[in-house]
Amino acid sequence: MENGVIIGEFFLRWLHYIFGIMWIGHLYYFNFSQTPFMAEADAATKSGVQQKLFPRTLFWFRWGAMFTFLTGWFLIFHKMFALQIPIESEWSVKILTGGIIGTLMFLNVWLIIWPNQKVVIENATQVAQGKPAIAGVADLAARAAIASRTNTLYSLPMLFFMGAASRLPLAINPEKSVSTYWVAFSILVGAIQWNAMKGKMGVMAKIGQTVHFGILLSFALYGLMWFLLR
């Protein structure tokens, strides 16, 4: 590989890590610290946080997600097309597992969490000005919370496969079809994503259980690769 390409890819990765930390750092702050704080805060404190802190944290959170997503897919396309890594290679199976879960997380941020939280911020501002509350705001906040917990759950397998792509060998059998794995992946992750969009908080109500579920999902997906592709 040419020196310029190596240096270019290195700087892209550096940006990818920085934006990834900015995004997932805020995600963990929301789920580990802010949610329990808000549950016991009095009404005035809660309103102040929603009006003054939410716009700031959600700004870095959603733009961190955007640039992690863009740098991540750029890295994937660079490796697959410029370096000609085939889609059925073990690297592709692992990085696409992490990248697709990361993409679902990105979509949950931009299509559920941010639009719904924007209404929560507007509602807090209006109520503080003595105007009536926005109808349905509690349901929007609850859906954002389920999507945010789902992203915390997803973050474990997402980072597992991000790190595993080049560093945890799998040695898949070239005779086996990778599509069997992708069908199993779609059913499992599709069910979790459907729940994020339409379902309930369920076991994710407790943060500890969310982390355990995330560890289980990481091993379940790696186990599927192991049994279906080796």
Task: By CB under 6 A, name the binding residues for ligand HEM.
Answer: 16-17, 20-21, 23-24, 68-69, 72-73, 75-76, 95, 99, 102-103, 106, 159, 162-163, 165-167
**Minimum distance between the CB of residue 83 and ligand HEM, rounded to whole angstroms?**
10
**Minimum distance between the CB of residue 162 and ligand HEM, rounded to whole angstroms?**
4
Write the CB contacts of 197 (distance below 8 Å, at least 6 apart in sequence).
Answer: 112, 147
Vertex 178, ends 174 and 179: CA angle to 5°?
A: 145
**Minimum distance between the CB of residue 110 and ligand HEM, rounded to whole angstroms?**
11
Spatial distance between the Cα atoms of 226 and 172, rounded to a whole number of angstroms: 8
Residues 186/190/193/195 CA torsion (nearest 10 deg): -160
Given the complex with ligand HEM, which of 140 and 165 has the nearer CB atom?
A: 165
Given the complex with ligand HEM, which of 64 and 120 has the nearer CB atom?
A: 64
- Residue 85: which of 16, 193, 1 has the closest Cα? 1
12 near 74, Cβ under 8 Å?
Answer: yes
Six-digit token string for 72: 């991540």
What residue has token string 């500890």?
A: 208
Given the complex with ligand HEM, which of 21 and 203 has the nearer CB atom?
A: 21
**Minimum distance between the CB of residue 77 and ligand HEM, rounded to whole angstroms?**
9
**Minimum distance between the CB of residue 106 and ligand HEM, rounded to whole angstroms?**
5
**Minimum distance between the CB of residue 157 and ligand HEM, rounded to whole angstroms?**
12
Given the complex with ligand HEM, which of 120 and 162 has the nearer CB atom?
A: 162
Q: Provide the 8-state DSSP code for 89.
A: S
Q: Could you count the other beta carbons within 10 Å of the beta carbon of residue 184?
A: 16
Given the complex with ligand HEM, which of 120 and 189 has the nearer CB atom?
A: 189
Given the complex with ligand HEM, which of 76 and 121 has the nearer CB atom?
A: 76
